[in-house]
Amino acid sequence: MAVTTDRKPRWAKRRLELGRVAPVHRLLHGAGVHTVCEAARCPNLGECWGRKTATFMILGDTCTRACGFCAVATGQATPVDPGEVERVAAAAAALGLRHVVVTSVDRDDLSDGGAGHFAALIERLHGQGQTVEVLTPDFQGDGSAIDRVAAAAPEIFGHNVETVERLYPTMRPQADYAQSLAVLARVKQRFPRCLTKSGLMVGVGEEAEEVVEVLRDLRASGCDIVTIGQYLAPTGHHHPVERYVTPEEFDAYRALAEQMAFLAVAVGPFVRSSYNADEVWARLAR
């Protein structure tokens, strides 16, 4: 494996051209919706917003969990705003999206984890002719909440494992690796027409063999689509980058995932689960 370094390579610094993102910024802020692009300080914001795509974040802007890698605000969540569904639907229409990607903060305070809100939005977006990809929390393993979302028939049901099992205590202390796999397996078993998707970040201290293990576990759980990208710490207070994974290693992960017969594989330094999600879906839907 490559040498560990804590110096950010030049490629990891992406320029944000304010003029290119301004129209989408105005539209989204005017619509009163949240995006994970901003909340998680995604390095791809300039590129994605520049091509008029974004990933909506619902159920408010405050997460009830505190994962070591994530920049989304954590704390006491606010009551669910039923008007959010209409606002997101309007913003998705105004952006001209054909494939809408929706994620959320974790809402462990809600009895259904926010599943009903997800379902209402999926149905609303389908009603205006858009396909939908959700990236959900684990719903604390609550089968009825998972089923509620999957029964609304999103074209893609995503749930990220985020990292290898050994690093859960520091990266996802309130989550459980086996439980996350079980979310994907449940959707695939009960709603086979839903494509399932998961992603993980590398460069957080994992070994290559552990990544291979995750890929095997995802396939065994019936996961159809996998993404692997370089972790970039959103601030100095977050889990540090242990190292920058080399292009050759990314190539090796991609080749391995392709051999494992995932339906789609997206692997690269800037890959995030929602990165170019519309293009991945368009290829699969052909």
Q: Is 275 in the site for ligand SF4 (CB under 6 A)?
A: yes
Site for ligand SF4 in 254-273 (CB under 6 A): 272
Of the pair 133, 206, the CB lying nearest ligand SF4 is at 133
Shortest spacing between CB 124 and ligand SF4, in angstroms: 20
Q: How far apart are CA 223 and CA 217, in angstroms?
A: 9
Of the pair 100, 145, the CB lying nearest ligand SF4 is at 100
Site for ligand SF4 in 162-221 (CB under 6 A): none
Q: Is 63 in the site for ligand SF4 (CB under 6 A)?
A: no
Of the pair 25, 166, the CB lying nearest ligand SF4 is at 25
Q: Tell me how many residues contact ligand SF4 (CB under 6 A).
A: 12
CA distances from 33 to 27, 30, 87, 217 (A): 9, 8, 7, 35
Of the pair 57, 85, the CB lying nearest ligand SF4 is at 57
The candidate with the shortest Cα–Cα distance to 149, out of 108, 194, 180, is 194
Which position among 274, 278, 280, 281 is part of the footprint of ligand SF4 (CB under 6 A)?
Answer: 274
Of the pair 180, 227, the CB lying nearest ligand SF4 is at 227
Shortest spacing between CB 198 and ligand SF4, in angstroms: 15
Site for ligand SF4 in 5-44 (CB under 6 A): 36-37, 42, 44
Of the pair 45, 110, the CB lying nearest ligand SF4 is at 45
Q: Is 56 in the site for ligand SF4 (CB under 6 A)?
A: no
Which position among 48, 119, 175, 245 is part of the footprint of ligand SF4 (CB under 6 A)?
Answer: 48
N-to-C CA span, the chain: 37
